[in-house]
Amino acid sequence: MPTGTHDISSLLTVKFQSAEDFGLDDLAAVLQADLAAHNAAVEEGIREMAEITTDTDGVYGTSSNGEMLEVDEYGLAPTQKPEVGELVAWPLRLFQFNIGWTAKYLQVATPADLAQAQLDAETAHKRAIMRDIKRAIYGSANYSYRDHLIDNRVLGIKRFVNADGANIPSGPNGETFDGATHTHYDANNGWLASALLASINDVLEHGHGAAIRTAINVADETAVRALSGFVAYPDPRIIYRQTDTPGKTLDISRLDNRAIGVFGGSEIWTKSWALDNYPFSWDAGDPRKPLKFRQRAQTTLQGLRIAFQNADYPLYAKDMEAEFGVGVNDRTNGAVLYVGGSSYTDPVIS
């Protein structure tokens, strides 16, 4: 087993030795390994909400709206055709993070300095992904996107069900929905139990019932706990009587990423990415994820990568790139409730 292997945490401790003295080849190997670990961790985090794909578009939902027709012994029921699903698409965008330095800086820069530059790029990468995920969740209007990195085709990027007139698959019991009026972007002026329950039911009534979750901002936790029908998970620091049978307990280690209880059959989670006054419900147990995360088909172009390094003395530059885009995948597996007014308002996400 190899011993004494450097990782990026060890680089951060090297603050009194230049990168050249440390060994640029060793430094590059450590940074490349850390980049691979970063991409693996990011991909794992994405999969909670999104399916990762290299496709440009696909068909969302098909309905089985046929009826069994009674006939006599000479009868023959008419042929019934399945209802065709609607097309959804996902954008692909190019993001860059550039690092530059002079030759003199490189001579005196420590491994810690160069490691921190890569950590900054990785942080920016995660921030850009989360920004795109939030825009895909909370934006309510469909839009067109020119796929300029591939073939310049204009793609129709859809949102969750938003009364745009598109066909909506029938429910598990044959329920039908009017595509011109049915929406999963609801609003209520203030926190109201019936409003949040209706938003959760927007997801449930389409057959998404495996493990519905509702993500809220930490600032909204007190308001949600006060709703009639909310059942809180108990605090593990409380000593229970022998007759008590506590089930799942409250996670006290992370305030902005934990399940706090159950409401309307949905487990309520505080999430660091959730927006204040915008609870979002989805079925986390359904293999049809709410979103799709699109990336390049070529594996060498996936994730955060070093696109090029330029050494033109006395200036040096390194360009780190990531190509990805996020869009709605299953239009019925997601619903947002805006509690800041009587009509839904798209939040500003920067």
What CA–CA distance (Å, rounded) separates 295 from 315? 32
Structure tokens at 199: 């938003």
pTM for this one?
0.84
Structure tokens at 349: 């996400």
Residue 348, domain member (yes or no):
no
| 133-147, 246-260, 319-333, range with the lowest pLDDT | 246-260
Structure tokens at 66: 């046929």
How many other C-beta atoms lie within 10 A of the C-beta of residue 171? 15
What CA–CA distance (Å, rounded) separates 109 from 101? 10
Q: What is the DSSP letter of 149?
A: T
Structure tokens at 9: 């945490």
Burial of 328 (0-12, 13-18, 19+ CB in 10 A): buried
Residue 66, domain member (yes or no):
no
Residue 69, domain member (yes or no):
no
Q: What would the pLDDT profile of 108-125 be if each residue is shown by its tens digit?
A: 777 778 788 888 999 999
Residue 305, domain member (yes or no):
yes
Place of tokens 């308002």: 345
Residue 224, domain member (yes or no):
yes
Which one of 12-16, 235-239, 290-294 scores highest in mean pLDDT?
Answer: 290-294
Residue 236, domain member (yes or no):
yes
Structure tokens at 145: 């996107």
End-to-end CA distance of the chain: 46
According to DSSP, the β-strands at 185-187 and 335-338 are parallel
Please give the pLDDT value at position 309. 76
Burial of 117 (0-12, 13-18, 19+ CB in 10 A): middle
From the list 310, 305, 304, the residue with the least C-alpha distance to 106 is 310
Structure tokens at 322: 């990531």
Q: What is the extent of the structural domain holding 216?
A: 8-60+85-338
10 by DSSP, 3-state: which? helix
Please give the pLDDT value at position 308. 81
Give the count of domains, the chain. 1
Q: Which residues contact 125 (CB under 8 A, 6 or more apart)?
A: 38, 42, 95, 97, 304, 320, 322
Check whether 248 has a pLDDT greater than 80: no
Residue 70, domain member (yes or no):
no
Residue 325, domain member (yes or no):
yes
